[in-house]
Amino acid sequence: MFRATLLPMLVMTAFALNAAPIDPPTRPTPMVRTLTLTAANSAVIAAGLNLGKEFVTSVHLFKGDETFDLTITSQSSEKITAKLPADLKPGRYGFMVLTNGDVPRFIEEPVVLILE
């Protein structure tokens, strides 16, 4: 009697383990550690980790409810150089990236840009 109930339980457990969903591999998160203005204040250099094209689609500045799209001029795994809009006014701006992948996400980076 014990064998008759044990066998179906083992079979059901084997099917359950094989049918368990497999988590997709995680993608590295882009992380900007520093922002540096170029000498002419016409571009910003964002340095950090996982900043290549396979991880970052675009970069943006924000101030309150306003968002300013930046034009990426060069990009590597550790650095992004982006042109600032000509009409950008002095102030303190946050920096964010739009990730690349199946589900793109905006990530607000822990750095600020201060224009004087």
Give 47's Cβ-side CA count (13 Å radius).
5
The pTM of this model reads: 0.78
Tens digit of each residue's pLDDT, the chain (116 residues): 455 566 666 666 666 556 556 666 788 999 999 999 998 889 999 999 999 999 999 999 999 999 999 999 999 999 999 999 999 999 999 999 999 988 999 999 999 999 98
Contact 49, 78 (CB under 8 A): yes
Q: Output the pLDDT for position 41.
A: 84
Q: Output the pLDDT for position 65.
A: 94
Q: Output the pLDDT for position 39.
A: 83
- For residue 70, the SS3 value is strand
Q: Output the pLDDT for position 85.
A: 94
Q: Output the pLDDT for position 74.
A: 98
Sheet with 91-99, strands from edge to edge, namely 31-37, 43-49, 79-83, 66-75, 56-63, 91-99, 106-115
